[in-house]
Structure 1
């Protein structure tokens, strides 16, 4: 039998043959080949490029809103979406799947999308208080969506046009907040707080090791940060090729969790003596659990006394402010007249936080997250730098033959990502425009009022103790002891007296178990006294004990339950209910 052959070079086709595939309205002719019929279907379901009432996107969004509404719980419902919070798949078997041969039905596929959100935490629920994950504001959601509709790519001006303005004006508005020259400042919206950390590390390597961009990192330059710095330090040093062994940790104060500047000076003095360059010093301006803010102005003063050896560039001072950045809104608040009428109790805290963030002006670069304390959609992290000319020239590459410079701003030449969606920049920029100064101040101050209300509630429970009463952030960390235990006295012993180490570990295990029980109840949709349980979390070591300052004993750390009410729907009743559920979970754990 003669074998069939496949023609590998295109055969000549008369234009008329192709033209006969289509009707005059652009749809596929009944006798058209299958590929043309498929194209006709997709054209009828893609967003319309023209104005009109038949846009498939507008039609589907209308139907999608109804689907989304059905995901939301009834009032006083659980803190998750849908009716079942359990996972609908098993791992790794879930990956045993193939692409369908036939094209899918749009409605069916979108129904499957909605099903994926079954059981997702509902961040707008007042019962959701597990971490610094707020509900997104409406203006930012819509702005972010618009970028997806029109595919604004902020790699360069030709594909972004005026949408680039969102990133450029962010640099100016944030630069103004920090006290920088807004025209000289720059900003890059990136993939997350880890992206900001990576940019901060790379900035230091490029500035300090002038040949590293072409020759690679051939010198063990150091990245210095505190013991409380975010674990993404490992990612940043790994992916830049520096290596995590070149991270140097500065001790932190046992009371404030702030960087010990005297210890920093010892480290810098040693590096100066042996000729070791420092690429980047990172100040953490608001840790997730302890809300610690490093004394960045003092850090600047110390690092300027110990410049890098001859032949190396100047160390970069990077501020990891992804959690704490928005306190800078209070740097210029009128505390004397108090126009937003905050309570006398929180005014000094707001002022303290605002004053601390004033010192961001001494940083070379700052990382901020709008999707944390900015109430914006993921992903809207922003790496902001003081001297755009220096940063962008340091990281600039030449042009490409297929991309043309059409506008004055073309970040493809100095960014890691090159192609970047504008969804993050639009979300952040819109949030800045929408809230303004007073809107953001009101939300931040309001949540702080809630925090101290919860703190007072905890004090009415003698078996509970707030373990971060002096922290000035939005989080409340507390421990719940067995009935009959004086929590204040017991915690004091466990924190300060090594002879109480065994008790500390025992009660850490209790804290862990309470946190797990609450999570189990949340996922199961359990009700107590007819009401759903909150979605809370816990920290497995937000600080070291005083007899473990150097952190060498992994067990001599403080576990704590975590309440992080980040949304505008929280009420006093919700906070009372959270503590009631903690006690119920504790009783259940101790009973088993």
Structure 2
């Protein structure tokens, strides 16, 4: 019996049309259409001139957002136009944030992940091979930071801020066993440096401690935590009978790439426990969202220097490694491949040194989460994560880049970042009236400002804001950004693209000089 098409309800006609038009895994015709759309998108972007710090694509007409459907090509034209004016992260004069240019292999991997749309919270929804990929990456990263891969545990999450929350959460559970189930009952503190990431205070608020429970420790001239002040503040807390759940050490501050001394923190933590007879371990969390990548140098032969880095760069890399190599002293480490791993956002990981009783107490079982089914069994990461639906995009793009670039590839990129950061700071110091806050810095981050004894603080801040604005309107535009150091507004350069030449640094410095002359500052 042949069905009469006219008798089919309208909604079914729409669905059948969508199957062959909109859902590439539902029909070969839709898959072919997706290929056409990808070709079109790539063709449109090929018209872009990537020699500029900002992306410029052909404008398209606006589409009214209403209940009517639109042709896919028209929609794509509109979507492409939304990227107009975005910073080109690969451009050498785009130094406004730690947003990396992404590799082709990671972009294609992200596309495939979006196409198949697995949920890595459960092997049932992601497949065994993708679920195992997360474990494979965790083992690789654990080995990289110095953990025992057989004892360590960890998982992908959507950002470094959430990874920090996990680290603090574990510290809270160690300080007050059962806290996760029964709530916070004791006044507990967290210690970190004044230069640490603001997400630590935010995490304390979210976790019920209150942001005021975070005690800021002074920093030294190089931006790292002052261990004498840490010792003083910790002792004062413990003498008052309060608990310390966690000390957060920062391995690569956002603006200046300052590196805290984890070995020194580890020594003090053990000393406090013995002297105050603590019946709980104070946890150490390493916020290595930025600095983790320099762990690729842990086996680099500095004596033969096979990649032939310049002497100044080699010395800086050695100094970085003296701090990074102690990541294994931390109980937990957070790291972001979506920064110096050169993969698309999001790609962050939290690593736990070992799966102990405190971590196990955070685990969901089938009784607590019946909807998750097999995700709650064994060591499945879905038993622990705040998210109960997780895309493996960060896992697979990180895996793709690790396999594609290799250790030597990362060493070359990161060495270049260090080299260009050193050169920029050296050149900036030669400009009259410029104060470089981290003139002895080691990484790609540089903070500076114009100063003059005759200016008030308010005048100085306004002048530096104006300088930044004018830099973006130069004939050779420069993308930098602002930050605050104490009460001072400063300009920051964050080098993450490795595609810089010394000539690009000269262009940047020349632009800054030109603006200063135009404003009668030098």
TM over 0.5, yes or no?
yes
Counterparts of 1:380 and 1:81 in 2: how far apart (Å)? 27
1:112 paired residue among 53, 74, 78: 78
Partner in structure 1 of residue 414 of structure 2: 444
Partner in structure 2 of residue 156 of structure 1: 122
Counterparts of 2:199 and 2:355 in 1: how far apart (Å)? 25
Partner in structure 1 of residue 496 of structure 2: 566
Q: How does 1:573-584 map to 2 (within 5 A)?
A: 573-584=503-514
Residue 49 of structure 1 deviates from its aligned partner by 4.6
Counterparts of 1:153 and 1:420 in 2: how far apart (Å)? 5
138-147 or 357-366, which deviates more: 138-147
Answer whether contact 1:512 1:540 (CA < 8 A) is retained.
Answer: no
Partner in structure 2 of residue 69 of structure 1: 46
Deviation readout 1:85-118 (Å, 9 max, x if unpaired): xxx99xxxxxxx9962233322222222112111
Deviation readout 1:106-165 (Å, 9 max, x if unpaired): 222222211211111111222211122211112222222211111111111111121112
Residue 257 of structure 1 deviates from its aligned partner by 1.7
Indicate whether 1:146 and 2:76 are aligned: no
Partner in structure 1 of residue 10 of structure 2: 34
2:174 paired residue among 193, 207, 218: 207
Partner SS state of residue 374, structure 2: coil
Indicate whether 1:458 and 2:428 are aligned: yes
Residue 381 of structure 1 deviates from its aligned partner by 1.1
Partner in structure 1 of residue 90 of structure 2: 124
Q: Structure 1 residues 264, 453: closer, same or farther in 2, change over 3 A? A: closer
1:170 paired residue among 137, 142, 155: 137
Indicate whether 1:136 and 2:102 are aligned: yes
Partner in structure 2 of residue 379 of structure 1: 346
Partner in structure 1 of residue 516 of structure 2: 586
Partner in structure 2 of residue 362 of structure 1: 329
2:33 paired residue among 30, 52, 56: 56
Q: Structure 1 residues 391, 49: closer, same or farther in 2, change over 3 A? A: farther
Answer whether contact 2:44 2:57 (CA < 8 A) is retained.
Answer: no
Q: How does 1:289-438 map to 2 (within 5 A)?
A: 289-307=255-273, 313-390=280-357, 392-399=359-366, 400-405=369-374, 408-438=378-408
Partner in structure 2 of residue 186 of structure 1: 153
Partner in structure 1 of residue 56 of structure 2: 81
Counterparts of 1:416 and 1:425 in 2: how far apart (Å)? 17
Counterparts of 1:99 and 1:134 in 2: how far apart (Å)? 32
Counterparts of 2:359 and 2:332 in 1: how far apart (Å)? 13
2:214 paired residue among 235, 239, 247: 247
Partner SS state of residue 388, structure 1: coil
Counterparts of 1:437 and 1:147 in 2: how far apart (Å)? 24
Counterparts of 1:296 and 1:123 in 2: how far apart (Å)? 32
565-574 or 243-252, which deviates more: 565-574
Q: Structure 1 residues 382, 306: closer, same or farther in 2, change over 3 A? A: same
Partner SS state of residue 372, structure 1: helix
Answer whether contact 1:46 1:56 (CA < 8 A) is retained.
Answer: no
Q: Structure 1 residues 214, 389: closer, same or farther in 2, change over 3 A? A: closer
Residue 300 of structure 1 deviates from its aligned partner by 1.0
Unmatched runs of 5 consecutive residues or more in structure 1: 1-15, 22-28, 90-96, 482-489, 491-499, 522-526, 545-554
Residue 465 of structure 1 deviates from its aligned partner by 4.7
Counterparts of 1:251 and 1:169 in 2: how far apart (Å)? 38
Residue 356 of structure 1 deviates from its aligned partner by 0.8
TM-score (norm 2): 0.91
Deviation readout 1:474-533 (Å, 9 max, x if unpaired): 12333346xxxxxxxx6xxxxxxxxx59556543432222013224x2xxxxx52xxx31
Partner in structure 2 of residue 550 of structure 1: none
1:507 paired residue among 454, 460, 474: 460
Q: Structure 1 residues 20, 565: closer, same or farther in 2, change over 3 A? A: same
Partner in structure 2 of residue 228 of structure 1: 195
Counterparts of 2:40 and 2:156 in 1: how far apart (Å)? 32
Deviation readout 1:188-217 (Å, 9 max, x if unpaired): 211211111111111112222222222222
Counterparts of 2:372 and 2:199 in 1: how far apart (Å)? 33
Deviation readout 1:375-397 (Å, 9 max, x if unpaired): 11001011111113546412112
Answer whether contact 1:221 1:279 (CA < 8 A) is retained.
Answer: yes
Counterparts of 2:31 and 2:289 in 1: how far apart (Å)? 42
573-582 or 560-569, which deviates more: 560-569
Deviation readout 1:18-54 (Å, 9 max, x if unpaired): x947xxxxxxx35422101110121012113577895
Q: Structure 1 residues 337, 49: closer, same or farther in 2, change over 3 A? A: farther
